[in-house]
Amino acid sequence: MLKASHRPERRTQSVSLTDCGAELTSEYGRLRVLAYGRGILRVTFTRESGFVRKPSAYLINRSCVRAREVREDDGFVYIATEKLSARIDKANGVLTVCDAEGRTVFAEGGLRTLEAFDARIIDRSRPALIERYETADGVKTRIREAEKIDYKRLYRARLPLRFCEGEALYGLGQPEGGSANLRGRTIYNCQTNKSIALPFMVSSAGCGLLVDCGCPFIFNDAKNASYLYFSAVEELDYYVIPGTGDEAVRGYHYLTGTPALLPAWAFGYIQSQERYETSEEMTALAREYREKGIGLDCAVLDWCSWPDGEWGQKDFDSVRFPSPAQLTQTLHGMDVHMMISVWPNMNRRTRDNAEFKEKGLLLPGGELYDAFDPDARALYWKQAKRLFDAGIDAWWCDSSEPWTSEWAREEKPEDSEIYYETLKTASDAVGADRGNAYAFFHARAIWEGLRGENTSKRVMNLTRSAWTGQQRFGTVLWSGDISAKWETLRKQVAIGLDMAASGMPFWTQDTGAFFVKQGKPWYWDGEYEQGFDDPEYRELFVRWYEYAAFLPVFRGHGTDIRRELTRLKGKEYGAVLRSNRLRYRLLPYIYSLAGLTCLNGGTLIKPLGFNYPDDETAINTDDEFLLGDDMLVCPVCEYAARTRKVYLPRGDWYELETGARVRGGGVYTAAAPLDAIPVFVRAGAVIPLSEGGVSVCEALSNKRELLVFPGADGEFSEYRDELDGYAYENGEYTLSRYVWHEHARSLTDENGSVLPCRIYGESKGDRTNAQ
């Protein structure tokens, strides 16, 4: 007969109280809860004899602070900050957190578990059997056989969660598909072409949850269980951050670093396609846009700028780009900047690869550089500096996951299959506890390299993947190689909101979708074989462009067909031109939101639930979004629609297209002509507007006006700086505070001086929305 082995007890055996928190020990493990700044609580659980002492690579490692209260009684241990109070049950170690009013904002749903295993990693000193395969995402390598060595002892960790009825969750990066509210979903969080995994989420109950780790993980919120499951950690280490919406995101930025401000030009239109092949094409694009008065701030050189057959070499092909410095100089003369695609992998025939190989700085497979190694990051920048010295302004760090095994398949694998294959590939190459984090260190290479130069250029790094803290490296995320469908456009709105809620404020996507036509592999899944000759695709592109004009970063890109706006004609061309001009008029508002986010933390775009967490409809609305606190954007995601129903939260709103003043708190049918999506502005808003221009520099230099939307008191702070460089880090910027006094019908500055303004819609009557 089998004999039952002893299961370690969870009951607390000892408690140690300090000024900063408490430590509880049971037979199973050790639990530590500490107070941090901004009212944050840190919770760490281990089965080792002590806690990990080395600093986190992803957090900026603020120290614990004195707690407002630390005490125990017979049944519980209590730790309180000025905003949160934790209660730990001595019987089992389960933790519950309440806010200052006693409302539960976070609760563990059961017993935490840590299961030990001995991780192994590929031995780089021994030869491996490598397979190369070609995808639309470039040539990839896959290790078929390799010898492994011991890596370290790690744990599989499970954190059970208990949610309140009606609680909404946002974040976890960019889960592909689904609603912005994560409730009721199972999400396999690994880095793929179209999914970005981030271990941070925000709850409408009043907190954010950040887990400090580097591994792939699973979020599950099924009927029978809710939990987070981490594939490989040294200990379970998480932070409960007080506040709803932006307050929680600011707490995340407090722990991981505020976002680095992009150069101002990065908020203008960025024109890309797969691909411009010569210097002549690049300069012709810029000249055409300038001649036609189309706003343009950046022209993008996609992959294969390198010599033929030298994938990833950081040099220009001398035939197609005979004088790179002359190319960038010509573009700069038209106030157009240049971005170039660079990759983390270099094929074995390149000089760049040989230099990495000689120094032993390549990962298994022999083509991908080891971004985790500081020497490798320095060498990567040394090579990229050749491009910088030619006048390149911005970086497109493509394929930064950098493993996309799902693209080797003809049919789409199940999400779980993609997860476990990516987990194995990444674990073998870089270590199981770092499988999600490659993009962080790759972005750090560009950041450290450029910040080490004597330059006035800010880092602008468009990259396809991210990890905790990456926002401090000047990165912009995008949603990967998506396909042209109305359903895709609808989903883009929702996933952009999750990315914003994850603490990454600068996000964009391929306007009009990357794939327009349908190809053999599962991911090449557009619906429009005729491209712009198909009237439905023309309308889809227009609606996508109108939506994109309100995103933090405004960018067009794709394959299958040319993407210049001038490929459109007639009413569709007029519609995109109108959105382009509106973007440049809004730049004082958008750049101010960006500047304030980088000074204080927070978001540019966000779900309605961030500002209206007690509104059940708002927290579940994800086909609309807020741009700042004052502008509500409602993309049109249906063919031939000329109206759309929108949900307006409480308060009065102005319909930008008609000037109508609408009372919120219900559903309203808004006008949606082809050349405008519904946009509403909150009563009390003060919006700084430019006369416009064809570049950001021109728009922000031209005359401004202050547009007031009356009906309530309100204010706005306009941010100004030198538009590039890092003097703003030393306080070299201005904030102009504008205050609207509804009763006095006047606008004043911070000193009380009356300012000139234009009052919007005074002659328009009220219109009550449908309920």
Grouping H, G, I as helix, E, B as strand and the rest as coil, residue 730 is helix
Instruction: Give dist(CA 478, CA 463) in Å, integer.
Output: 7
Instruction: Give dist(CA 243, CA 490) in Å, integer.
Output: 29
Q: How far is CA 108 from CA 138, 225, 288, 458, 644, in A?
A: 43, 12, 59, 42, 41
In eight-state DSSP terms, residue 518 is B
Nearest to 253 by CA among 236, 237, 241: 241
Q: Is 433 a catalytic site residue?
A: no
Grouping H, G, I as helix, E, B as strand and the rest as coil, residue 326 is helix
Instruction: Give dist(CA 719, CA 703) in Å, integer.
Output: 15
Residue 552, number of CB atoms within 10 A of its CB = 25
Instruction: Give dist(CA 683, CA 742) in Å, integer.
Output: 10
Nearest to 286 by CA among 316, 322, 329: 329
Instruction: Give dist(CA 743, CA 614) in Å, integer.
Output: 28
Q: Is 69 a catalytic site residue?
A: no
Beta bridge partner(s), residue 242 = 207
Instruction: Give dist(CA 563, CA 540) in Å, integer.
Output: 13
Residue position matching structure tokens 């320095």? 378
In eight-state DSSP terms, residue 379 is H
Burial class (CB in 10 A: 0-12, 13-18, 19+), 702: middle
Residue of 302, 481, 623, 630 with catalytic role:
481
Q: Is the dihedral of CA 99, 105, 109, 111 positive or negative?
A: negative
Residue of 137, 370, 401, 428 with catalytic role:
401
Instruction: Give dist(CA 447, CA 438) in Å, integer.
Output: 14
Q: Is 481 a catalytic site residue?
A: yes
Beta bridge partner(s), residue 95 = 88
Q: Which helix (H) or strand (E) holds 626?
A: strand 625-627
Q: Which helix (H) or strand (E) holds 617?
A: helix 616-619
Residue of 234, 235, 398, 428 with catalytic role:
398
Q: How far is CA 193 from CA 83, 176, 370, 437, 637, in A?
A: 39, 10, 20, 15, 23
Per-residue 3-state assignment (H helix, E strand, C coil) for 536-576: HHHHHHHHHHHHHCCCCCEEECCCCCCCCHHHCCHHHHHHH
Instruction: Give dist(CA 260, CA 262) in Å, integer.
Output: 6
Residue position matching structure tokens 């391929």? 510
Contact yes or no for 331/283 (Cβ under 8 A): yes
Q: Is the dihedral of CA 579, 581, 583, 589 positive or negative?
A: negative
Instruction: Give dist(CA 557, CA 276) in Å, integer.
Output: 11
Instruction: Give dist(CA 9, CA 614) in Å, integer.
Output: 40
Structure tokens at 672: 């949606």
> Which sequence positions are flagged as catalytic?
398, 401, 481
